[in-house]
Amino acid sequence: MGILEVKNVGKRFGGLQALGDVNLSIAEGSVHAIIGPNGAGKSTLLNCLVGKLIPDTGSVMFDGQSVLGRKPYEINQMGISRVFQTPEIFGDLTVMENMLIPCFAKRDGAFELNAITRVVNQHDVIDKAEAMLSDMNMIEKRHMHASSLSRGDKRRLEIGMCLAQDPRLLLLDEPTAGMARADTNNTIDLLKQISDERDITIAIIEHDMHVVFSLAQRITVLAQGTPLVEDTPDKIKGHPKVREAYLGE
Ligand code: ADP
Ligand code: MG
């Protein structure tokens, strides 16, 4: 049994069958990549895992519990945290203020915007935010406005904000899209470090094969809403169906 078990999931948008019959098992502690051409249904599948979309058919079990019918914040509290394609951080706030948000939310089960202005004497939350920024190698940038960070550092902050919620499963949708090579390599190193040092499972949707082959232990290839093949990176590289359907050979 994987930490995440997707069985026979289908999702239709009007006349378009975005997901046909998806079966997917993600092993605890692994880095599992989901690849496939544009429009294959990757983001739709991810949205079905976090409660943003409700599948028409099938089941999604996280650690033995169904996520279907739960609200996104409830699924987040179960231990699934999600990184968006465009970094979801607050540009007008400092790096530290951004990091305080998930730390408050984790402690209090909710977050009020004015909490940041009342941080005096909230040492547990401040300590946690500082520790997380140190782990992310961002502590010296704590006073910078988030909007002035490089693309790679914005992503690094956002991933840190997800980790501050102590998730067991981290989901990422094309985290290196639009990044320069140096920022991409930075993100690869960060995700490797997270996978090695933390008790966390990572599922990553990714277009960049360099990222996929640097990180993943298992790869699922999705084509037209259905998994075409699932295997180790070595086998995927040489798989004739994958070369034909995905790598365009
Ligand atoms: P991918 O992430 O693999 O590029 P998506 O999951 O975004 O693919 O999209 C799969 C298919 O579903 C595409 O044809 C897309 O146009 C369609 N689609 C995605 N979201 C919606 C939506 N909210 N309404 C209608 N069609 C959608
Ligand atoms: Mg997508």
Rounded Cα gap, residues 159 and 176, in angstroms: 12
Ligand 1: which of 44, 46, 220, 224 to mutate, most ligand atoms within 8 Å of CB? 44
* Nearest ligand to the CA atom of 14: 1
CA of 170 to the centre of ligand 2 (A): 16
pLDDT band at 98 (very low <50, low <70, confident <90, very high): very high
Please compute the mean of the pLDDT values over residues 155-159 and round it to a whole number. Answer: 93
Mean per-residue pLDDT of the chain:
91
40 in contact with ligand 1, CB cutoff 6 A: yes
User: Considering only CA atoms, which of 77, 81, 62, 79 is closest in space to residue 171?
Assistant: 81
Closest Cα to atom 22, ligand 1: which residue?
13
73 in contact with ligand 1, CB cutoff 6 A: no
Domain 4-86+166-245 superfamily per CATH: P-loop containing nucleotide triphosphate hydrolases (3.40.50.300)
Buried/exposed 25-50: b ≥16 CB within 10 Å, e otherwise: bbeeebbbbbbbbeebbbbbbbbbbb
Kindly state the percentage of the chain with pLDDT values over 70.
93
The four Cα atoms 100, 171, 195, 73 give a dihedral, to 10 degrees, of: 40
Per-residue pLDDT tens for 29-40? Answer: 999 999 998 999
Q: What is the pTM of this model?
A: 0.92
18 in contact with ligand 1, CB cutoff 6 A: yes
Q: Which residues does 249 contact at the CB level (< 8 Å), separation at least 6?
A: 243
Per-residue pLDDT tens for 191-239? Answer: 999 999 999 999 999 988 899 999 999 999 999 999 989 999 999 888 8
182 in contact with ligand 1, CB cutoff 6 A: no
Closest Cα to atom 14, ligand 1: which residue?
39
pLDDT at 249 over 60: no
42 in contact with ligand 1, CB cutoff 6 A: yes
ipTM above 0.95, yes or no: yes
39 in contact with ligand 1, CB cutoff 6 A: yes
pLDDT at 248 over 80: no
pLDDT band at 65 (very low <50, low <70, confident <90, very high): very high
Please compute the mean of the pLDDT values over residues 129-152 and round it to a whole number. Answer: 95
CA of 173 to the centre of ligand 1 (A): 13
Lowest mean pLDDT among 17-26, 121-130, 148-157, 213-222: 121-130
